[in-house]
Structures are given as C-alpha cells and as structure tokens.
Amino acid sequence: MPQITVDYSAVLADGFDRPGFARALHEEVVRTAAAKPEACKTQFRASEDTTVGPDTSGHGIVHVTLGLLAGRTDEVKVTLTENVLELLREFVKPADGLALHASAEVRDLDPSYRKFDE
C-alpha cells in the first residue's frame, strides 16, 4: 500500500517523465496521506488506442488511480488528487497539437486486500 496505477496514451510516452513523476508522486503520497516511502508502488500502463469523443487522434489521456488502505478523510483524498493533477502538469509535456486530458482518483482498497513481499 499504496497501490498506484498510471494509465496513459502511448502518444504521450516521449513527453512523459515517468520515473520523475513516480518519485514526486511517492513523495506526495507520503506527505499528504501518511504512507511509508518503501510501501509506494507504481505501475505504468501505456495504451495504443485513445479516443476522445468522436476523435481517434490528437488526444492524450493520463489517469492515475491511487488505492490506499481505508481511513483517510475525504479532505485528504481530495487534496491528494488535486496535487497529483498538478504533478501531471509538471511531468507530462504533450507534443505540439496534442490535447492532454488528465484525471486522478483516490479510492480505498477493499478490506480483502492482502500482499506479500519476497
């Protein structure tokens, strides 16, 4: 915990500093949601196909999902989400002519969540 997934359009790959974003994101989650640095885990998943409305080109999408153990207030979740969006502004620089659509959400992990490390 936290479990972080970043889904993004492959057309953004060249302008998306993923390692820098992950480091800054982990620092933000520690600061805002009291997570432990060593517990932060982020996966990036690129998608080749992106459609916004009727358009199949000219758009790039980034959506960040943060799964946290229950117990954070709605205020903490909103603050974290807003700060994640600011980080995306800093670390995603789409190519000229490409519209960026960015979103983020914080959700509670299900009580059934379990993990192991080896």
Rounded Cα distance between 4 and 20, Å, is 15
pLDDT for position 56 = 77
Q: Where are the domains of the chain?
A: 3-108
Beta bridge partners of 3: 41, 67
Contacts of 97 (CB under 8 A, 6+ apart): 58
Look at residue 48 and tell me whether its pLDDT is greater than 80. yes
Sequential DSSP letters for 7-19 = EEEGGGGGGB-HH
Provide the token pair at 73.
């207030």
Rounded Cα distance between 70 and 25, Å, is 19
pLDDT average, residue stretch 110-114: 93
CA 89 → CA 54, 73, 117, distances in Å? 25, 25, 33
CATH class entry, domain 3-108: alpha beta
Provide the token pair at 111.
């009580």
> Which tens digits make up the pLDDT trace of 76-104?
999 999 999 999 999 999 999 999 999 99
pTM tops 0.85: yes
Provide the token pair at 16.
């998306």
